[in-house]
């Protein structure tokens, strides 16, 4: 017979990037007495990963527990970015409801849509939090209407449409049931969660069943599986069976069992149906696998995980500067590091290729792969990557490609050039709304049409444009999209770039380097103003004829070069180029460093096309 555990609520908190959900969780923790009065609390405690703090986004799902009037509220913070959808889907299996946080000014955004669709598909109960109501130009009632439209659009049931709304200011730590009253604390929010989110129900007396939905790793304990207990009781030190993804059954002993209290894991002796726990001692446990009683080794259905849509090659660094700034990795070490990433990131696929030095890595989008590159770089590793490319699929005999749902918010005066660019990139305009001099454009566009678009978009809108997109679906292939039009300036020899050498080629295009930069033959040092690639000598020294002319050039100033971030460099890459990544530098280079080899490659390519 099913039992309800009224002292537990399991919820996922979902929102668009930067709508304030992590700040809201900070305040919930503070007000529930998780932190001691004298404890120093870091802002955005949930974003513990360095990159999350820098980019202001949540990448990895994390869970915390808040106690309110004897009820444990397990809150799982989900990534708002569509590239981390693999995380989102699994979390939905652990919870009974969702806290949907929406900005009172910006309203519903693509990632809100993406995550909410996943929640509604699982029939989860929503509580809507209109956050930042103290913002200037906040329009809470319009935003609630937008949320209702979004729910209807996503096919919500009548019960799901009856959602409660809480108006909050995450920054101030206040909530209210009326948009006109600021509230004094977050009590209305806690009450709404306890009242509306169902308590977990299940069998307490039946044999144990728990599905691993998240993974963690600890140097002492090895792999740790995190998940919700579906039925029965789990005890520390007990023997359990792990049903692997391929159906094999292995017997393990639980070496440590943890529950959650605030942001900490605390060791516990036992937990039962409805609890979210972390378990160590399960060997090479994987996401989706079931931990169960050895007497009844029944697996729960495997979790469906969205397939990757973008792939790129990770290559052993073979540039002339390999090993200067970081730890050069052998192919064995590079492969092992990528395989290790797959242990905790279920949306990632790593495959060996014909060449032992090249690995094909597929993920859920450019950002997903860029975060992996950046993480490895910060570990002190050196390697190279190729241009990100979309993954095509054959569906019903038709070649199909991934499409993205794109939303742009831009000042009115920049609409023309942006729409022109999206037309050339095979985008279909779905909707256009003009409000107070700002235009919101909605597009359906091939994912490859967005590769390299963000940089152009920010230039075209003078940095005022806001761009968001999420995976839509696979649709029939749209034909050729012209990529980068300009050629590049390629270094002629290995050496140090001089002021004189750079001045002599400055009028050829845009430079990517400054005087004193060390370059090698085949490295890309700038963009040509014309279509073809040209080889240039940036290390040229001025011949000293007399003292006066030798100092004359020092008064001539070079224009500021264009310096790339990692994402911009990945977007910029051409088909015949690599990005060399080291802990200190990003270097764009040609696959073939010698001019003769490049010409040979071009001839072969033309003969194949011809």
Query: Binding-site residues for GTP, please?
Result: 18-23, 131-134
User: Which residue carries 């649709």 as its tokens?
Assistant: 475
Cα separation of 597 and 2, whole Å? 71
β pairing state of 8-15 and 62-68? unpaired
Q: Which helix (DSSP H) or strand (DSSP E) does residue 314 occupy? A: strand 310-315
Cα separation of 91 and 114, whole Å? 14
Cα separation of 418 and 430, whole Å? 15
Q: 455, exposed or middle or buried, with CB in 10 Å at 0-12, 13-18, 19+? A: middle
Cα separation of 403 and 449, whole Å? 9
Looking at residue 505, what DSSP letter applies?
H
**Count of CB atoms situated within 10 Å of the CB of 54:** 10
β pairing state of 71-77 and 534-536? unpaired
> CA separation (Å) from 65 to 8, 131, 367, 467?
10, 21, 29, 34
Binding site listing: 18-23, 131-134
Residue 570, CB half-sphere, CA atoms under 13 Å: how many? 27
> CA separation (Å) from 125 to 11, 88, 310?
9, 16, 33
Looking at residue 577, what DSSP letter applies?
E
Cα separation of 395 and 244, whole Å? 30
Contact 408, 440 (CB under 8 A): yes
Cα separation of 518 and 497, whole Å? 6
Contact 381, 325 (CB under 8 A): no
Cα separation of 508 and 489, whole Å? 8
> Which phi and psi angles does 441 have, rounded to 5°?
-105, 135
Q: Which of 148, 146, 95, 147 is nearest to 124 (CA)?
A: 95
First to last CA, the chain: 71
User: Which residue carries 């039992």 as its tokens?
Assistant: 3
Cα separation of 363 and 350, whole Å? 9
> Which phi and psi angles does 454 have, rounded to 5°?
-55, -45
Both tokens of residue 507? Answer: 């009028």
Query: In Å, how far from its chain's centre is CA 219?
Result: 25
> Which phi and psi angles does 91 have, rounded to 5°?
-65, -35
Q: Which of 223, 527, 568 is nearest to 373 (CA)?
A: 568
**Count of CB atoms situated within 10 Å of the CB of 475:** 15
Contact 18, 58 (CB under 8 A): no
């Amino acid at each position: 017979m099913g039992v309800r555990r009224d002292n537990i609520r399991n919820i996922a908190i979902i929102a668009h990037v930067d709508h304030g959900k992590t700040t809201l969780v900070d305040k919930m923790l503070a007000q529930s007495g998780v932190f001691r009065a004298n404890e120093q609390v870091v802002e955005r405690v949930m974003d513990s990963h360095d990159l999350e703090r820098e980019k202001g986004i949540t990448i990895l799902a994390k869970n915390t527990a808040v106690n309110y009037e004897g009820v444990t509220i397990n809150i799982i913070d989900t990534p708002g970015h569509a590239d981390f959808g693999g995380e989102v889907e699994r979390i939905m299996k652990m919870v009974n409801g969702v806290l949907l946080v929406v900005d009172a000014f910006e309203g519903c955004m693509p990632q809100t849509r993406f995550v909410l669709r996943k929640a509604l598909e699982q029939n989860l109960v929503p509580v809507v939090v209109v956050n930042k109501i103290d913002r200037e130009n906040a329009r809470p009632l319009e935003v609630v209407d937008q949320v209702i439209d979004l729910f209807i659009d996503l096919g919500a049931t009548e019960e799901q449409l009856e959602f409660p709304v809480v108006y909050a200011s995450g920054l101030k730590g206040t909530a209210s049931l009326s948009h006109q009253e600021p509230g004094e604390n977050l009590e209305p929010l806690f009450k709404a969660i306890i009242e509306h989110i169902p308590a977990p129900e299940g069998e307490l007396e039946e044999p144990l069943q728990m599905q691993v939905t998240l993974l963690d790793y600890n140097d002492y304990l090895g792999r740790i599986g995190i998940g919700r207990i579906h039925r029965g009781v789990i005890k520390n030190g007990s023997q359990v069976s792990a049903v692997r993804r391929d159906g094999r059954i292995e017997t393990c002993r639980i070496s440590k069992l943890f529950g959650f209290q605030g942001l900490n894991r605390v060791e516990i002796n036992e937990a039962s149906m409805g609890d979210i726990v972390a378990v160590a001692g399960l060997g090479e446990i994987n996401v989706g696998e079931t931990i169960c009683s050895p007497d009844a080794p029944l697996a729960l259905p495997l979790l469906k995980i969205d397939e990757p849509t973008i792939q790129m090659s990770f290559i052993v660094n073979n540039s002339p500067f390999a090993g200067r700034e970081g730890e050069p990795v052998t192919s064995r070490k590079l492969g092992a590091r990528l395989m290790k990433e797959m242990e905790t990131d279920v949306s990632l696929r790593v495959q060996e290729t014909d060449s032992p030095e090249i690995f094909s890595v597929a993920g859920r989008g450019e950002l997903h792969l860029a975060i992996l590159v950046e993480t490895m770089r910060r570990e002190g590793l050196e390697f190279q990557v190729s241009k990100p490319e979309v993954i095509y699929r054959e569906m019903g005999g038709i070649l199909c490609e991934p499409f993205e749902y794109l939303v742009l918010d831009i000042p009115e005066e920049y609409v023309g050039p942006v729409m022109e660019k999206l037309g050339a990139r095979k985008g279909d305009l779905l909707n256009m709304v003009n409000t107070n001099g700002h235009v919101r454009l909605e597009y359906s566009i091939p994912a490859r049409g967005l590769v390299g678009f963000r940089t152009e978009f920010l230039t075209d809108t003078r940095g005022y444009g806001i761009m968001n997109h999420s995976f839509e679906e696979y649709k029939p292939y749209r034909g050729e999209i012209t990529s980068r039009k300009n050629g590049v300036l390629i270094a002629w020899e290995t050496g140090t770039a001089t002021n004189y050498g750079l001045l002599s080629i400055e009028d050829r295009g845009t430079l990517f380097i400054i005087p004193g930069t060390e370059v090698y033959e085949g490295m890309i040092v700038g963009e040509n103003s014309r279509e073809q690639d040209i080889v240039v000598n940036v290390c040229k020294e001025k011949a000293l004829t007399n003292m006066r002319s030798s100092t004359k050039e020092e008064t001539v100033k070079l224009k500021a070069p264009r310096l790339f971030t990692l994402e911009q460099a990945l977007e910029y890459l051409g088909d015949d180029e690599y990005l060399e990544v080291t802990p200190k530098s990003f270097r764009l280079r040609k696959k073939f460093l010698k001019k003769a080899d490049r010409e040979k490659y071009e001839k072969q390519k033309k003969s194949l096309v011809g």
